[in-house]
């Protein structure tokens, strides 16, 4: 069955013309010495100096920031939330210019940044220690202390959201931060710096350094960075973990995915179709948790596919700033070519479907797919949904888990028992029942297996951004046993 929108070979019609990329160090924008030249010719030595300067700035700011009460830190994060909500439209437009995603989606992303600042601003005063009574009136006090300077590194698909999801909890817990955005989306991390400064966050608490992988690598190896929080691909995540091992640093990794979306024969079909669109074509398919392996029960496969293809044809690809655009532009040409390469290989391996070229790629629905295809096994990170037909619950659970990834998954059924039974078998950090790609701030998010280590969001990050210090208080005499003879 053919799919895709057909015929449109559009070029990207706008430039990233927002200036920069700037660093943000010590509470102000500064021109990186390397920024007048494209990143590709960045002098590694200069990049290192700038990472060093940012880490120094974060280290200097640590004592004052960590000595504020949780309530004082929380108030500043709440104020940052208010500023973002007040400027949501302008910031969303910056995000569109940087990523090529449609404006309606950017508004959702920036709204979620405000939500995260609000949530962790509210949580900050509640981060407290423990008092543990011990024998003879002695006791222990367990303090929750910040880790120190956190080094964050981000991908390009949700630039500001990725940054805020790391920075809001880290700052709430009294840490300071150096963030390196993706070289493809350098802008809104600097905007976040300006928002935080306007909200009263002291200079140096949050810093941004621009650069390619080598800047990230230097940040990971920096001896004054206590914790690494990374979002990106599995191969880079593995390098970040190795760098963390060398310096005995705590590491959180949010990596790739190839998630299953399972539609049983009793599913509410319209919801399943809508969710499949959300699970595959948001942000031009460049979403880590996407449900790109769409398993559909054989008895409804034909109807489901026809309706999905028809809904896909109705998507409007075009200028991401236009209000009626539903699908925008791929991040850059090399990535667009990579996505098209997967389509070619899928066709060679027997799949049927289409996707048009340029930086604007028509979303594709591939049918006749099987589990061994490259497009089914590897993360495409583009608008390519692969339909896989199944016959039994046992079969689909086995196939859904037959992957090195484990970021997310979904089950569509009206049978409550089956929904929970299957969801409990899926090896993934998030399983949606009858919906897809929802990430409220209060809910932990992260991956099993190669999809990552640790979680973001929710209260689970208390462990990720703090360490305990136990004060043992002796109320009696020292008991040295036979070691001490009077």
Contact 267, 414 (CB under 8 A): yes
Please give the residues from 273 up to 302 whose contact with ligand NAD meets the rule CB under 6 A.
Answer: 288
Nearer to ligand NAD, 284 or 367 (CB): 284
Least separation, in Å, of the C-beta of 93 and ligand NAD?
A: 21
Residue 224 CB contacts under 8 Å (≥ 6 apart), including other chains: 55, 56, 59, 148, 149
Active site residue 254: yes
Nearer to ligand NAD, 255 or 300 (CB): 255
Q: What are phi and psi of 13, to 5 degrees?
A: -100, 5
Binding of residue 118 to ligand NAD (CB under 6 A)? no
Least separation, in Å, of the C-beta of 332 and ligand NAD?
A: 10
Least separation, in Å, of the C-beta of 235 and ligand NAD?
A: 7
Binding of residue 183 to ligand NAD (CB under 6 A)? yes
Residue carrying the six token digits 């007048």 = 36
Two tokens at 369?
Answer: 């797919």
Give the interface segment with ligand NAD, choosing from 71-79, 211-219, 277-285, 391-399 (CB under 6 A).
Answer: 211-219
Nearer to ligand NAD, 256 or 320 (CB): 256
Report the residue closest to ligand NAD, judged by CB. 216
Among 47, 100, 154, 285, binds ligand NAD (CB under 6 A): 154
Binding of residue 254 to ligand NAD (CB under 6 A)? yes
**Which contacts (CB < 8 Å, 24+ apart) does range 323-327 have?**
323/103, 323/104, 325/102, 325/103, 326/102, 326/104, 326/281, 327/102, 327/281, 327/284, 327/360, 327/363, 327/383
Nearer to ligand NAD, 27 or 232 (CB): 232
Give the interface segment with ligand NAD, choosing from 193-201, 229-237, 268-276, 353-361 (CB under 6 A).
Answer: 229-237
Closest CA to 351 of 339, 364, 362, 367: 367
Query: Which entry of 254, 379, 427, 456 is annotated as an active-site residue?
Result: 254
Half-sphere CA count of 330, side-chain side, radius 13 A:
27
Nearer to ligand NAD, 26 or 446 (CB): 446
Q: Residue 293 is inside which H or E element, if any?
A: strand 293-297
Spatial separation of the C-alpha atoms in residues 262 and 434, rounded to whole Å:
10
Residue 138, Cβ neighbours under 10 Å: how many?
13
Binding of residue 95 to ligand NAD (CB under 6 A)? no
Q: What is the dihedral of CA 54, 57, 63, 66, to 10 degrees?
A: -50
Nearer to ligand NAD, 174 or 406 (CB): 406
Among 5, 55, 62, 153, binds ligand NAD (CB under 6 A): 153
Contact 222, 243 (CB under 8 A): no
Among 110, 150, 208, 220, binds ligand NAD (CB under 6 A): 220
Strands 149-153 and 260-263: unpaired
Least separation, in Å, of the C-beta of 258 and ligand NAD?
A: 9
Spatial separation of the C-alpha atoms in residues 174 and 312, rounded to whole Å:
46
468: helix, strand or coil: strand
Nearer to ligand NAD, 281 or 304 (CB): 281
Among 8, 75, 87, 233, binds ligand NAD (CB under 6 A): 233
Nearer to ligand NAD, 201 or 209 (CB): 209
Closest CA to 74 of 197, 142, 168: 168
Please give the residues from 404 up to 443 whose contact with ligand NAD meets the rule CB under 6 A.
Answer: 407
Spatial separation of the C-alpha atoms in residues 336 and 351, rounded to whole Å:
19
For ligand NAD, how many residues bind (rule: CB under 6 A)?
Answer: 29
Spatial separation of the C-alpha atoms in residues 168 and 121, rounded to whole Å:
8
Binding of residue 390 to ligand NAD (CB under 6 A)? no
Least separation, in Å, of the C-beta of 74 and ligand NAD?
A: 25
**58: exposed, middle or buried (Cβ count in 10 Å: 0-12, 13-18, 19+):** buried
Among 57, 97, 175, 182, binds ligand NAD (CB under 6 A): 182
Q: How many residues does the chain have?
A: 486
Q: What are phi and psi of 120, to 5 degrees?
A: -75, -25
Give the interface segment with ligand NAD, choosing from 28-36, 235-243, 315-323, 476-484 (CB under 6 A).
Answer: 235-243
Binding of residue 21 to ligand NAD (CB under 6 A)? no
Give the interface segment with ligand NAD, choosing from 73-81, 253-261, 300-308, 385-393 (CB under 6 A).
Answer: 253-261
Judged by the rule CB under 6 A, the positions of this chain that interact with ligand NAD are: 153-157, 180, 182-183, 212-213, 216-217, 220, 231-233, 236, 239-240, 254-257, 288, 379, 381, 407, 447, 452
Catalytic residue ranges: 254
């Amino acid at each position: 069955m053919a799919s895709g929108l057909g015929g449109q070979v559009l070029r990207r019609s706008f430039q990233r013309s927002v200036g920069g990329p700037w660093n943000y160090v010590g509470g102000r924008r500064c021109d990186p010495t390397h920024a007048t030249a494209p990143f590709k010719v960045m002098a590694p030595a200069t990049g290192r100096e700038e990472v060093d300067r940012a880490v120094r700035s974060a280290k200097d700011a640590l004592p004052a920031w960590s000595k504020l009460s949780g309530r004082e830190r929380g108030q500043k994060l709440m104020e940052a939330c208010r500023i973002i909500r007040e400027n949501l439209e302008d910031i969303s437009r910056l995000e569109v210019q940087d990523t090529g995603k449609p404006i309606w989606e950017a508004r959702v992303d920036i709204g979620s940044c405000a939500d995260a600042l609000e949530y962790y601003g509210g949580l900050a005063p509640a981060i407290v220690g423990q008092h543990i009574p011990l024998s003879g009136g002695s006791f222990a006090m367990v303090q929750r202390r910040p880790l120190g300077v956190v080094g964050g590194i981000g991908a390009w698909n949700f630039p500001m959201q990725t940054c805020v999801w790391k920075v809001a909890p880290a700052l709430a817990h009294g840490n300071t931060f150096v963030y390196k955005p993706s070289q493809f989306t350098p802008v809104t991390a600097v905007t976040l710096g300006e928002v935080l400064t306007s909200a009263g966050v002291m200079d140096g608490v949050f810093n941004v350094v621009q650069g390619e992988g080598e800047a990230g690598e230097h940040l990971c190896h920096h001896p004054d960075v206590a914790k690494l929080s990374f979002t990106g691909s599995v191969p880079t995540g593995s390098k970040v973990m190795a760098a963390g091992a060398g310096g005995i640093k705590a590491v959180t990794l949010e990596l790739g995915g190839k998630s299953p979306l399972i539609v049983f024969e009793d599913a509410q079909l319209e919801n399943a179709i809508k969710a499949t669109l959300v699970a595959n074509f948001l942000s031009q398919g460049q979403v880590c948790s996407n449900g790109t392996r769409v398993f559909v029960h054989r008895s409804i496969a034909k109807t489901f596919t026809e309706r999905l293809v028809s809904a896909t044809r109705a998507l409007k690809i075009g200028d991401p700033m236009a209000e009626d655009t539903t699908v925008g532009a791929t991040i850059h040409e090399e990535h667009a070519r990579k996505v098209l390469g997967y389509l070619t290989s899928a066709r060679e391996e027997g799949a049927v479907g289409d996707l048009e070229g340029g930086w604007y790629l028509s979303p594709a629905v591939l049918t006749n797919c099987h589990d061994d295809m490259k497009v089914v096994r590897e993360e495409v990170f583009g608008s390519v949904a692969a339909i896989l037909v199944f016959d039994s619950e046992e079969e689909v659970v086995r196939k859904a888990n037959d992957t090195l990834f484990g970021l997310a998954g979904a089950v569509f059924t009206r049978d409550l028992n089956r929904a929970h039974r299957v969801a409990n078998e899926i090896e993934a950090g998030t399983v949606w029942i009858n919906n897809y790609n929802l990430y409220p701030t209060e809910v932990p998010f992260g991956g099993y297996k190669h999809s990552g280590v640790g979680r973001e969001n929710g209260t689970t990050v208390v462990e990720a951004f703090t360490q305990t210090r136990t004060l043992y208080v002796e109320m009696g005499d020292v008991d040295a046993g036979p070691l001490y003879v009077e």
